[in-house]
Chain A
Amino acid sequence: MIAQIWLGLFSGIAFGFVIQRVGATNANVMARAHLMIDSGIPKFMLTAVALSAVGLFGLQAVDVGRTLILPTSIVATGLAAVIFGIGWGLAGYCPGTAWAAVGEGRMDAIFALLGGLAGTAVFAQFHEQLVPLLYDPTNVGQISLADWLGGKAVAVAVIAIGFGLCVWGIGKIWEN
Chain B
Amino acid sequence: MKTDSRQSLSTYWRWFPASFALAGIILFIFATFGPPASSSGFVSTLKGFFQSAAPEYVNDKAHYQMLPGPGSWLFAFVIGMALGGFIGGRTLKIPVRDIPEIWERKFGRSRVKRYAATFTGGFLILFGARLAGGCTLGLFISGSTQLAVSGLYFGVVIFAVAMITARMVYGKAGKERQS
Contacts and interface: CB of A to CB of B under 8 A. Distances in A.
B169 A90 contact: yes
A153 to B, nearest CB: 11
Interface string B134-157: 111111110111111111111011
A65 B30 contact: yes
A37 B85 contact: no
Interface in A92-133: 92-109, 111-125, 127-128, 130-131
Interface in B33-57: 33-36, 38-39, 41-43, 45-46
The winner among B14, B162, B167 for most chain A CB atoms within 10 A is B162
A18 B149 CA distance: 27
Interface string A124-151: 1101101100110000001111101000
B148 to A, nearest CB: 4
A28 B27 contact: no
Interface string B86-105: 11110010101111111100
B121 A121 contact: no
Contacts, number: 501
A83 B85 contact: no
A97 B82 CA distance: 9
Given A8-B33, A11-B32, A68-B34, A84 B43 contact: no
Interface residues of B, number: 123
Given A31-B102, A52-B26, A96 B135 contact: yes
A31 B164 CA distance: 11
A66 B161 contact: no
A70 interface: yes
B166 A34 contact: yes
Nearest to B163: A34
Given A13-B80, A70-B143, A91 B118 contact: yes
A156 B148 CA distance: 11
A31 B98 contact: no
Given A34-B162, A86-B124, A41 B15 contact: yes
Given A11-B80, A90-B117, A90-B165, A83 B124 contact: yes
Contact of B134 (A45, A70, A114, A120): A70
Contacts of A7: 32-33, 73, 76
Interface string A51-87: 1110110010000111111111100111111111111
A39 B163 CA distance: 12
Contacts of B175: 35, 37
A48 B19 CA distance: 5
Given A87-B122, A144-B147, A145-B149, 9 more contacts: A14-B84, A15-B77, A22-B13, A34-B166, A84-B158, A88-B162, A96-B137, A117-B46, A120-B42
Interface of A: 1, 4-23, 25-29, 31-32, 34-45, 47-49, 51-53, 55-56, 59, 64-73, 76-109, 111-125, 127-128, 130-131, 134-135, 142-146, 148, 152, 155-156, 159, 163
